[in-house]
Amino acid sequence: MDLEYELKQAGVMINNCFYTHFSEMSEMDNSTDLEGFLMGKLISNGTSSQMHYLENFNRVLSALLKGKLSAEVFQFYVEAQFFMERKDAQQLLNQITHLNAFNEGSLNQRITFPDTDKTPKVNVIITTYNRERYLEQVIDSILQQDYPNIELIVIDDNSKDGTHTLMKRKYADASNVIYMRNDKNEGPGTNRLKAFVTHGDGEYILFLDDDDYLVDTNYISRAVAFHEKNPQVSFVAANVFMEKTGACELALSDLKLSNVVKKYDYFINFEKQGYPKPASTLTTVFKRKALIEMDIFNMKMVNDSAIYLRSLLVGDAGFIDTTAGVYRIHGNNITFNLKSDFIIENLREKLMIKNMAVNRFNYDAKAVEAWFGSSVYVTIMYYLKYSAKNKSDYNAMLNWTKENCPTIYNKLKYDAMKFFVMRGLSRLRKFGRSTIVQKS
């Protein structure tokens, strides 16, 4: 059965469930009982292909009841995930807000800034290449923000599709949109720095990829307000939906981090359990002063892990426990199409960060060395599993590790070899099964 049809039917089922059982649900005073009751009703009526999406809905409802996403974002979710008409989404939201388990105070209060010369400027930098079909959505998601002082910089890496035409047709007259176009392809990491150096004069900076977008129109206002209240932070980030385009799925991704995380703790434990990296830099508003202090001008490529780690040398990390954007996962994501030269450059950047942490910022040398070894291992194994194409890629990674991070060389070599052997055996088994099926 067609997935879109199944999802539409799931949306109808959710609305009918609230309509039919509203009196029972309205008597429940806590969200846990409400969620359990609702899930029981949906499971009993849903199909197996709908079940995962209904479970996701229950998680989103829980986030709404706890004030972890706005009414605006909830409505976006049910419209996008279940192809729900706006009037039906509004009706559903209205019913939810009249339940006893719903706390009116849990809805995020909108933060407003005056439209004056004293309102801090925010630069939003979008790098793009051949993504016309996504670019308009991300640009509009920024222009729809209610923060009054945003300047948007789009840097086009010599796209061959209709990107240039789109920018001229729709945004040429927008006073707060700057369009830059390269004569040759230079890569997103280089382009972020290029746009920042040329036009990044605001007090705050947001780096966006061309296939992600914001869904909370009050988010930049909230992020700036957080910065103003917590001047010790280098950046502020939030939760997102992961949009799995192949599965037509929007799934909540919750960082589960404190409002403020100390810079040293986050740096040393970066990407370990309890210290996750935000999805790209989609929701991350950086303080420009922190970017300067962590020496952004001498970065060869401004990529997300490097910019987070450098920022954690000069300031704490801030988090707003709300869902603010959508991060797309699809076969064209850069993380699945990496080249060995890019990885080597990334590793050199981490080596530089290691030296900065110890020599300039007096981080504990032993702890930093352990962090570096772990980071190199994770980076290389991820590359070998998902992007490496041949033996030369494998050798390039091992040679770099042997020279620059010898403490993990033997473990990396063994684990990488074991992975390739197991993958080869798996492919042989699949080939054998397909051969048997063809013969029979």
10-54 pLDDT, tens digit per residue, is 999 999 999 999 999 999 988 899 999 999 999 888 899 999 999
pLDDT of residue 440: 52
pLDDT of residue 386: 85
Query: Tokens for 260?
Result: 């403020």
Cα distance between residue 212 and residue 283, in whole Å: 10
The residue with greater pLDDT, 301 or 98, is 98
If DSSP codes are grouped into helix, strand and coil, which group holds residue 239? strand
Candidate ranges 14-23, 105-114, 423-432; pick with highest mean pLDDT: 14-23
Distance of CA 180 to the CA centre of its chain: 24
Cα distance between residue 410 and residue 395, in whole Å: 13
pLDDT of residue 390: 84
How many CB atoms are closer than 10 A to CB 70? 24
pLDDT of residue 13: 95
Say if residues 56 and 81 touch (Cβ distance below 8 Å). yes
Residue 106 — pLDDT band, cuts 50, 70, 90? low
Lowest mean pLDDT among 3-7, 99-103, 165-169: 99-103
Cα distance between residue 78 and residue 303, in whole Å: 32
pLDDT of residue 1: 59
Say if residues 104 and 97 touch (Cβ distance below 8 Å). yes
pLDDT of residue 420: 82
Lowest mean pLDDT among 40-44, 135-139, 192-196: 40-44
Residue 310 — pLDDT band, cuts 50, 70, 90? very high
Strand partners, 287: 204
Say if residues 357 and 351 touch (Cβ distance below 8 Å). no
- The residue assigned the tokens 């990529």 is 303
Say if residues 311 and 233 touch (Cβ distance below 8 Å). no
pLDDT of residue 221: 97
**pLDDT tens for residues 395-419?**
999 999 999 999 999 999 999 888 8
The residue with greater pLDDT, 214 or 100, is 214
pLDDT of 198 above 90: yes
Lowest mean pLDDT among 29-38, 74-83, 199-208, 430-439: 430-439
If DSSP codes are grouped into helix, strand and coil, which group holds residue 74? helix
Residue 102 — pLDDT band, cuts 50, 70, 90? confident
pLDDT of residue 389: 78
Say if residues 22 and 37 touch (Cβ distance below 8 Å). no
pLDDT of residue 91: 96
How many CB atoms are closer than 10 A to CB 395? 11
How many Å from the N-terminal Cα to the C-terminal Cα in the chain? Answer: 29
pLDDT of residue 245: 85
Residue 266: exposure state from Cβ atoms within 10 A (0-12, 13-18, ≥19)? buried
Residue 240 exposure: Cα atoms within 13 Å on the Cβ side: 21
Strand partners, 326: 213, 241
How many CB atoms are closer than 10 A to CB 269? 16
pLDDT of residue 44: 87
Q: What is the DSSP letter of 276?
A: P
Residue 385 — pLDDT band, cuts 50, 70, 90? confident
**pLDDT tens for residues 319-362?**
999 999 999 998 654 455 678 888 999 999 999 999 999 999 99
pLDDT of residue 396: 92
Cα distance between residue 161 and residue 247, in whole Å: 26
Query: Tokens for 206?
Result: 């947001």
Cα distance between residue 252 and residue 239, in whole Å: 8
